[in-house]
Structure formats: C-alpha cells, structure tokens
Chain A
C-alpha cells in the first residue's frame, strides 16, 4: 500500500528565511512524487515532480525537493521565502508502473511572517 505523511500541519517562517516542508512516503513500488500548492480560491498548481530521473528536482518559484530513498522522504525547500509563498502545500505519491490513483497528504499550511 502507498501512503504519504506530511509531518507538519502548519509552518511559519519569516520573509527572506529558508523554507522546509517535510514529507515522508510509503510505497511498495517505485513511487512518483509530487508537490502541489493551493492558494485560497485557486486551483491546485503543480510545483514539481519526481519520476525516477534526477533525485534533486527543481520546480517553479524557486522551490526544489530531494528524493531520498533511504529515508523515504521528499522534503520541499526554498532558500528564501516570499510573502506570496503563503499557501497550502500538498505532497502526493503515486506508484510508477501501476495503474493506481494518486494519494495526497493532509497538507501543510505555510505562513510567512513579515
């Protein structure tokens, strides 16, 4: 079975400081992993995805994530937070080579302090 755990329901950082949103997954097969962002009253937007190529994945808006198989983690980072980064972030897992639906984590709400 596959599952995904986002370790923090809320994260607060000051503008200009680094962001770390943690995600651990469980998968019996080689997973594909995604991060989505959800701004209020807007649709979910894909930030980045890992599908078995490079383990360090760069996404939009300066975000990146590193796939660590030994730690079953796919944490999202950004060197310097902007006010516009305040949103809900979802880590998502899917088995590769299996016709399974994607599983969302419960989300992490990122607050940016001025």
Chain B
C-alpha cells in the first residue's frame, strides 16, 4: 500500500532562494507532522497539523519557515531566503489519530534532503 511520500527527494538551493517541500500523507490520516533532521542528529519537531488546522508551530526555527495543509491532505513546507544552516533532511510523518499526544505509530516519509550552497 502507499505510504507517506515526499518530493523532491533531493534539493540544492543557493543561499537566498525560496524552496517548497511537499508531503503526501497516507490517505485518511488526520495528523501530519514536519521534522528537521540535521546531519548526525535526531529529528526535531517543526510543526503539526490536525486536518487543515496548524495547531502547533512552536518548532519552526524562524519566520522564514512556513507550512500549510489547505485541504487537510497534502502539505507544503516553504523556506524563504534559505540559509546554509537550513541544510538538513526534512521529514514528514502522518498518523490516523488526532493530537500531538500520539502513542500510536507515526508513519514517516523518506525525507527531502535540502542542501543550501
């Protein structure tokens, strides 16, 4: 069956460019999460959607980061005026259970590796 997919898988951007990263969650999953994984580190929470509502964006590192999920399915993470420190793997995960307090499994996509030069 189809899992979580992300595109592009790899993205190289010059510093100052805007990028958009896409996540297609598992159909019917209510919750959607974005994480940032720097090299050699574990994933760190960025933001959380329940359907189309962005209920938590406390992990977004700056106002250059923006996420949306307008129809409650596909989500886009946008980074404006990219900086070298934005280089990381961006992971998307979804779950059929609503809420951040998730003890049910989150299903992760393969990630988008962003390199800012």
Q: Bound pair: A and B? A: yes
B-contacting residues of A (Cβ < 8 Å)?
Answer: 9, 32, 36, 41-46, 49, 51, 90, 94-107
Known contacts A99-B100, A101-B59: does B108 contact A43 (CB below 8 Å)? Answer: yes
B interface, CB within 8 angstroms of A: 3-4, 35, 40-45, 48, 56, 58-59, 91, 93, 99-103, 105-111
Question: Are B41 and A106 in contact, CB atoms less than 8 angstroms apart?
Answer: yes
Complex Cα distance, B97 from A32, in Å, reads 16
Q: Which of B40, B42, B99 is the one whose CB lies under 8 Å from A99?
A: B99
When C-beta atoms are compared, the residue in chain A nearest to B58 turns out to be: A101
The SS class assigned to the A binding surface is loop
* Residues of chain A contacted by B56 (CB below 8 angstroms): 101
Question: Among B40, B58, B110, which residue has its beta carbon within 8 angstroms of that of A42?
Answer: B110
Q: Are A44 and B108 in contact (CB under 8 A)?
A: yes
Bound together, the chains give a CA A61 to CA B44 distance in angstroms of: 26
